[in-house]
Amino acid sequence: MEKKQQPHVVMVPLPLQGHVKPLLCLAQLLSEAGLYVSFVNTTQSHKRFTNLETITTHFPNIHFECISDGLPEDHPRALLTEYFEGMKRETTPHFKELLLSLGRKSLTGSSPPVTCIIADGVLPFAVGVAEELGIPIFSFCVHSARFLWGYLNIPKLIEEGQLPFSDGNLYHSINGVPGLEGIFRRKDLPEFCILPDPHHPIIKFFVGETIAMTKTSGLILNTFDELEDSCIHHVSSACNNLYTVGPLHAHINSKLGDRARSIASRGSLYSVEEKCLEWLDSQQPKSVLYVSFGSITQTSLSQLMEFWHGLVNSGKPFLWVIRPGAIIGEEGNEGIPEDLLPGPTERGYIVEWAPQEQVLAHHAVGAFLTHSGWGSVLESIVAKIPMICWPYMGDHYINTQCVNKVWKIGVELEAWDRSTVEKAIISVMETKKDDFQISMDKVAKLAEDSISKGGSSSQNLDKLVEDIRKIKATA
Ligand code: UDP
């Protein structure tokens, strides 16, 4: 198709691993469908990508753009309100200038005019700029439909007096949220819901931004209808259009076949240690426990040592990701016991970052000890690997509830002392293996069907592309 006729989608992720990767998968799928895709990184994440030289090699058809987030170089960029408010204030002019410059480029014919924006729902600057420039915008949410639905119900819970609460009981059930009956507890709400003032600026900010997502032209979710059917129609009725197109990493694999293998695992802001795959080759089928707590969690050294003892006492070989900066208060390797340093040992293998999708697909892996980030849960489902969930924050709790109580494909780690860790590993890898495998096969099959031709996610992706083309046609 001639460049100027191609619809042009500008995609903007929050600069975090768990956000960049699914958006890159979607970018690649849209590009394969014939759309012109610009992918906007902040200077910080762009540097990490280009250092790893993955960007142009693995995503040759995506046009990468880079903007400053406007914050000082030494800003911690921690996931606190100040960061999001800082972005809203400081990144807005940079994003606007980028869109204006893309508009100028289109006049010279070097790229098509911008048709629409797809922005991470947690980005507080994109909607305002899109409105100001009159560009249609879709939002992309990296969380499950259940977590999002819980979030959208916070104003109702405040109105009904279920929030705030003062008895400190986080395991108390939340009632009256259709679709979440029987599994929804106070603990499954975002952390700020423990605040005693329901009008606190943090609550107003995050709930306001989430509701703003539903007001855009459409909301795109990395989930699939059959996995979250109890909630999806509720979310759908709360927004203009809903496109459930996940699991995106599997969607890419199914659409691109062998070509996808590198793409899905390359959307990484970290240097991937592929050598651990060779170590896995030498292990018995289904014998290895894969351990990773994602890209954000931090643990104390003593907490990590409890995990280590639990792993060792279970007698199972393990592949464990301990990323730099994951141990609170430890900058380098000094002070970290030898047992936790990267490299193979007689009991297992520790890496700073693993090729997770390939690891989960490896025949030697039998279970996944995870923090239950949504990306990891979806990847485990597709690979049919039962989970031991150690939820840490945000959506991890509701994801764990689903793994444990709804889909029955894993267990929740009730505590993190060595004995509980050991017992959980043994229960998932030995005793209950068959039970988990039956449910696992069922859920994985649903995922596979959703992304195959005619499946729900496949149809929804086609619909998204079609709707973007319609915008172009009427512009
Ligand atoms: N990941 C990876 N290698 C690792 C650890 C994680 O490739 O060693 C990827 C993983 O495949 C997933 C993402 O990082 O896609 C983490 O996202 P998730 O939603 O699970 O958690 P978050 O990092 O956002 O807490």
SS (H, E, C) the chain: CCHHHCCEEEEECCCCHHHHHHHHHHHHHHHHCCCEEEEEEEHHHHHHHHHCCCHHHHCCCCEEEEECCCCCCCCCCCCCHHHHHHHHHHHHHHHHHHHHHHHHHHHCCCCCCEEEEEEECCCCCHHHHHHHHCCCEEEEECCCHHHHHHHHCHHHHHHHCCCCCCCCCCCCECCCCCCCCCCCEHHHCCHHHHCCCCCCHHHHHHHHHHHHHHCCCEEEECCCCCCCHHHHHHHHHHCCCEEECCCHHHHHHHHHHHHHHHHHHHCCCCCCCCHHHHHHHCCCCCCEEEEECCCCCCECHHHHHHHHHHHHHHCCCEEEECCCCCECCCCCCCCCCHHHCCEECCCEEEECCCCHHHHHHCCCEEEEEECCCHHHHHHHHHHCCCEEECCCCCCHHHHHHHHHHHCCCEEECCCCCHHHHHHHHHHHHHHCHHHHHHHHHHHHHHHHHHHCCCCHHHHHHHHHHHHHHHHHHHC
- Which entry of 69, 120, 188, 225 is annotated as an active-site residue? 120
Residue 9: beta bridge partners? 37, 116
In this prediction, residue 84 carries a pLDDT of: 80
Rounded to an integer, the average pLDDT of 396-418 is 95
CATH topology of domain 8-147+190-260+450-470: Rossmann fold (3.40.50)
Rounded to an integer, the average pLDDT of 157-165 is 94
Whether 18 is in the pocket of ligand 1, judged by its Cβ within 6 Å, is: yes
Both tokens of 141, joined, read 């949410």
pLDDT digits (tens, 9 = 90+) for 341-379: 888 888 899 999 999 999 999 999 999 999 999 999 999
Residue nearest to atom 9 of ligand 1 (CA): 356
Domain extent listing, the chain:
8-147+190-260+450-470, 272-431
Looking from the CA of residue 377, the nearest atom of ligand 1 is: 20
Confidence class for position 444, pLDDT limits 50, 70, 90: very high
Whether 223 is in the pocket of ligand 1, judged by its Cβ within 6 Å, is: no
In angstroms, what is the span from residue 385 Cα to ligand 1's centroid? 15
> Which pTM value belongs to this model?
0.95
Rg of the chain over all Cα atoms, to the nearest angstrom: 22
pLDDT higher for 81 or 61?
Answer: 61
Whether 321 is in the pocket of ligand 1, judged by its Cβ within 6 Å, is: yes
pLDDT higher for 82 or 285?
Answer: 285
49, 223, 295: residue to mutate for ligand 1 pocket, most atoms within 8 A of CB = 295
Looking from the CA of residue 396, the nearest atom of ligand 1 is: 25
Residues 6+ apart with CB under 8 A from 214: 152, 238, 239, 240
Give the residue carrying structure tokens 């200077």: 43
Residue 2 above 60 pLDDT? no
Looking from the CA of residue 321, the nearest atom of ligand 1 is: 8
Confidence class for position 69, pLDDT limits 50, 70, 90: confident
Range of weakest confidence among 156-160, 283-287, 299-303:
299-303
Rounded to an integer, the average pLDDT of 323-336 is 77
The CATH class for the domain spanning 272-431 reads alpha beta
Give the residue carrying structure tokens 């001639």: 2
Whether 379 is in the pocket of ligand 1, judged by its Cβ within 6 Å, is: yes
In angstroms, what is the span from residue 467 Cα to ligand 1's centroid? 30
Whether 291 is in the pocket of ligand 1, judged by its Cβ within 6 Å, is: no
In this prediction, residue 330 carries a pLDDT of: 67
Residue 262 above 60 pLDDT? no
In this prediction, residue 288 carries a pLDDT of: 98
**Average pLDDT of the residues of the chain:** 90
Residue 323 above 70 pLDDT? yes
Confidence class for position 76, pLDDT limits 50, 70, 90: confident
- Please give the share of the chain, as a percent, with pLDDT higher than 70: 93
Phi, psi of 261 (to 5 degrees): -50, -45
- Range 1-26 burial, b when 16+ CB lie within 10 A, else e: eeeeebbbbbbbbbbbbbbbbbbbbb
Confidence class for position 170, pLDDT limits 50, 70, 90: very high
pLDDT digits (tens, 9 = 90+) for 123-155: 778 999 999 999 999 999 999 999 999 999 999
Q: Is 19 a catalytic residue?
A: yes
In this prediction, residue 185 carries a pLDDT of: 96
Q: How far is CA 181 from CA 22, 143, 408, in A?
A: 29, 19, 17
pLDDT digits (tens, 9 = 90+) for 31-66: 999 999 999 998 887 777 665 556 667 788 899 999
In this prediction, residue 264 carries a pLDDT of: 53
Whether 376 is in the pocket of ligand 1, judged by its Cβ within 6 Å, is: yes
In angstroms, what is the span from residue 300 Cα to ligand 1's centroid? 20
- Which entry of 19, 58, 94, 249 is annotated as an active-site residue? 19
Rounded to an integer, the average pLDDT of 319-336 is 81
In angstroms, what is the span from residue 93 Cα to ligand 1's centroid? 30
In this prediction, residue 339 carries a pLDDT of: 81
Rounded to an integer, the average pLDDT of 116-122 is 92
Rounded to an integer, the average pLDDT of 96-116 is 94
Whether 460 is in the pocket of ligand 1, judged by its Cβ within 6 Å, is: no
Q: Is 120 a catalytic residue?
A: yes
16, 17, 24, 321: residue to mutate for ligand 1 pocket, most atoms within 8 A of CB = 17
Range of weakest confidence among 96-110, 120-134, 274-288:
120-134
Looking from the CA of residue 249, the nearest atom of ligand 1 is: 15
Residue nearest to atom 2 of ligand 1 (CA): 356
Residue 331 above 80 pLDDT? no
Residue nearest to atom 15 of ligand 1 (CA): 375
Rounded to an integer, the average pLDDT of 260-274 is 72
Looking from the CA of residue 142, the nearest atom of ligand 1 is: 19
